[in-house]
Structure 1
Amino acid sequence: MGIWGSKVDIKDEVNKNKRAVSKAIREVDREIQKLEQEEAKLMRELRIAVEKGYTESAKIFSRDILKLRKQMERLSLARSQLMGAELRLTSVKSQLQVNSAISDLNSIMGRVNDSTEISRIQGILKNFARESDKMDVKGEIINDSIDVAMGNESQPEEEEALVNKIYMEVCESVRQGKEKELAKANAKGPNINNLLSYSSSNKDNPGDEGSGISIEERIKKLGEDR
C-alpha cells in the first residue's frame, strides 16, 4: 500500500520525480554550454571591434557578454539547487519529506528567468509537478513559483560599470598583444626588404643625400617604424 492507503508506491513516485529533476539538470547543463559558446563568439567579435577602433560596436558586444554571464550565473545556481533537490529525493521517507524536497524547487526559477531556453526547463518542472500530483502534492506550488520568477535586475549605473569593465579588460588585452608583437618584431631586426626600399627611395630623392643620416640611423629608424 502507498501513502494514506493509496495504491501508489512512494518509491516509484520518488524515482519518477528524481528522473524529472535529473532531466532538468541536463537541460541546464546544455543551456550553460550554449551560452559559453556564444560568449566565446562575442569575445572574438569584441576583440576585432577594439582592434579596429569601433568603440560603439565594442560597447554593444560588451553589454551582450554581460547579459550572457548573468544568465550563466543564474543557471549555475539553479543547477546546484536542482542537484540538492535530487539528492534529497533519493532519501525521501515520508510525504512530508517529499513536500519539502519539492518546495525547495520554488525559488530556483527566480534565478534563471532570463535564460533564452528557460521555457524548456519550465516545461520539465511543470511535468515534474504533474507527476507529483499522484502523491497529493499539488503542482500549483511549483507552477506559481515559476510564473512569478523575476530575478533582481542590476541598477543602470552598476550595469554600465560592468560593461565598461569588460570593455577595458579586452582593450588592455589587445594592447598587451600588440606590444608583444612589436617586441618580437624588433628583436628580429629591421626587414631587409624595407631597408632596400628605403635606400632606393633616397637615391631617387637627391634632396635627402645631404641630410647626414647614417645607415645605422636609418636601420634604427626602420626598427622604430615597425
Structure 2
Amino acid sequence: MNFFKKEDPKEAQRSNDRQLRRTNRDLSHDYKQLERREKELEMEIKKLAKTGQISACKTLAKQLVQIREQKTKNIAMGARVTSVGHQAKTMGSMGTMATAMGTTANTMKIVDKQMPLEKFAAQMRDFQQTNDRMDMKAEVINDTLDSMLDVDEGEEEAVINQVLDEIGIEVRGKMPSVPMGTSDFTSTKTKTGNDISDADLDRMLASLKS
C-alpha cells in the first residue's frame, strides 16, 4: 500500500457511500429485530396478565419500554446517517465546484499572462495608428492622382487645337499629291492638290475641330 499516494476524492466519496449504506442496512436489521422482540413481549405480558402474574408483567413491561426507546434511537440514528450521507454528497459536489473554479482561475491566469492588458492596449493603439496612416497615405495618393489626371477644359481645348493644327500641317504638306473627292471640305467640283486654297484648308480644319 502506498501511504504517500493522495486518495482520489471521487473514490473516497464512493467508499464513504458504501459505509453509510452498510450502516443503514445494519440499523434496519436491528430495527426489525426490535420489532419482533416488542411483539413477543406484548404477547408474553398479555399471557401473564391473564394468569394474574402482575410482578412478571411489570418486569416485561420495563423491557418493552426499553425496546421502544431503542427503536426510537434506531430511527434517529438512521436519520442521522442519511443526513451525513447527504452532507457528504453536498461536500463532494462543493469540492468538485471548487476544483472547477480553481482550474478556471488557473486558465484565466495563463490567458492573462499570455495577453496582458497593457500589451493588448498597446497593440490596439498601434493597429489604430497604422490604419490611420494607411488611410492618410491613400487619401494623399488619390489627391495626387486626381491633380495629375485632372485636365483644365481650356488646356484640353488648346491641346486638341494643337493636334488638329499638326494634322492640318501634315494634310497641307500632302495635299498637292492627294486628289480630293466631293465633300464638305471642297466644292462640288473635283479638285487636285494644286486647286486647294487656304480657305478650303481652313474649312477642313474647322470641320475636324467641330
TM over 0.5: no
Greater gyration radius: 2
How does the TM-score come out when normalised to structure 1?
0.38
Higher RCO (C-alpha 8 Å, min separation 6): 1
TM-score, with normalisation over the residues of structure 2? 0.41
